[in-house]
Amino acid sequence: MEWREHITSNREILGGKPIIKGTRLSVEFLLGLFANGWSEEKVLKNYPTLKKDDILALFAYAQNSVKDDLLISLKS
């Protein structure tokens, strides 16, 4: 999955947050929906401009973003 075909950033849209191309839906917002239990079906139904490949790109982007650069301490 080449997420760059689906995700972009523009300072003029949502302050430069990564978004799905052709929308104002941020990666952060969409990941939040999934984190809150939304299914792929529910997301696609509620945001009909999205395609399955956009969702795959969303997760590919998130995986790539945390691959080497972000470590969250799991110590309590």
- Residue ranges per structural domain of the chain: 3-67
Class of domain 3-67: mainly alpha
Kindly report the pTM of this predicted structure. 0.86
The predicted-structure confidence for 26-62, as pLDDT tens digits, reads as follows 999 999 999 999 999 999 999 999 999 999 999 999 9
| Ramachandran category for residue 22: left, alpha or beta (phi over 0 → left; psi -120 to 50 → alpha) | left
Please give the pLDDT value at position 75: 60
Please give the pLDDT value at position 68: 67
pLDDT at 76 over 70: no
Nearest to 21 by CA among 41, 36, 3, 7: 7
